[in-house]
Structure 1
Amino acid sequence: MVDSELTFKDSNECLLVIMPSVVIRLLAHRQLYWNSKEAAGVLIGERRGPHLVIQDISEPGEGDIRSRFSVDRQGPHHQIAVDKAFAQSSGTLQYLGEWHTHPEDQPSPSAKDLSSWRRHLVDSEQMLLVIVGREEIWAAKKIADTIVPLNKI
């Protein structure tokens, strides 16, 4: 899974592509040990028509509140990463959504995740949601109030 991009699609054949360098960084935050804390960040990438390409992420850092079963992304470095990518790419790279880890092999969103995304992730554009588990990565799109899981291909 590390040496190539990770690709998902929705029922309309729209693609989500996670670049290999990002896959490596996401997998580095897996909760593999009993004392591993949840990690979180933002997804940064491009909108290519109906397709989305994740080219960068922010990672946990100072100000974030982390425990075994929860994470609160509070550090200002997440917004700084988005602003920097946007400026350096002349607006091509932008905020696409959020990622976090779960201490389970095949992750799925918790009720708390679903509630938080519906309450805080509000945009007219489709947004991405990624959960990194110990063995798999789960991905979905949030379109208005609907969360649509994506299929790995």
Structure 2
Amino acid sequence: MTNSAEMPDIWIIPEALALIGEEAIRSRDGLETGGILLGTDDGREIVVRHAGGPGAKAHRESNRFLRDLAHAQQLAELAWKEDQSQWIGEWHTHPSGDLSPSNYDLEAYARHLHDPELSFRRFLTIIVGLTRTGEIMAVAWIVDQETALPVPVAVADDREGTTASQSSPDTDRK
């Protein structure tokens, strides 16, 4: 992925966005939190249909987050049964307010992209932060084996991907 012509349209279902917002509030304690993103990626369009929370056994630290794998797997199984959604990425918070992937994040994404069992061509990540006034801000990134690029995400008003509004990666406030 080296040019905008190859950039997919990215949609998120309001329920998934709401869950991310609700869970992101937990980072007020200064520790990262996050979860998986489930949906579809057909090459031209990515649709986030479900977002998961961290799970009871997640490890939260000030500069990294490790999801509860069993919880994530259970969410993935339920999403597959509901609408054939698959794991397409992750979301997590950066309590520091920096909405760019850290070196730790990039290393984790590289492991996912190089794992032949996962078969990722690209990985969607949403990094969320809280402003001093309590507003939630987020930037979505598409990561492949060569680049990590911020991308706009549109909020879909139904499960078919119809747009309700579009967010820019520079001013993405939710």
TM-score by length of 2: 0.70
* Other-structure match for 1:4: none
Q: Which runs of 4+ in 1 moved over 4 A?
A: 31-34
Which structure features the higher share of helix residues? Answer: 2
Correspondence list, 1:9-20, <5 A = 11-12=4-5, 14-20=8-14
1:59 corresponds to 2:53: yes
Taking only the aligned residue pairs, the percentage that are identical comes to: 27
Q: How many pairs does the alignment contain?
A: 142
Letter in 2 for 1:131: I
Offset, 1:120: 3.0
Contact 2:32–2:94, Cα closer than 8 Å, also in 1: yes
Cα distance in 2 for residues equivalent to 1:27 and 1:105: 15
The one-letter amino acid of 1:136's match is M
How far apart in 1 are the matches of 2:97 and 2:79? 31
Q: CA RMSD in A?
A: 2.3
Kept in 2, the 8 Å contact 1:118–1:145? The answer is no
> Which residue is 2:109 aligned to?
117
The verdict on how the C-alpha distance between 1:78 and 1:34 changes in structure 2, with shifts beyond 3 A counting, is closer
Segment drifting more, 11-20 vs 53-62: 11-20
Residues 9-49 of structure 1 show CA distances to partners (whole Å, capped at 9, x for unaligned) of: x8225211112121111112335765242112110112345
Partner residue of 1:132 out of 128, 135, 141: 128
Q: Give yes or no for the alignment of 1:37 onto 2:31.
A: yes
1:143 is aligned to 2:136: no
> Contact conserved, 2:122 with 2:144, CA < 8 A, in 1?
yes
Cα deviation digits, residues 117-153 of structure 1 (max 9, x gap): 1123443432211111114211111223432221444
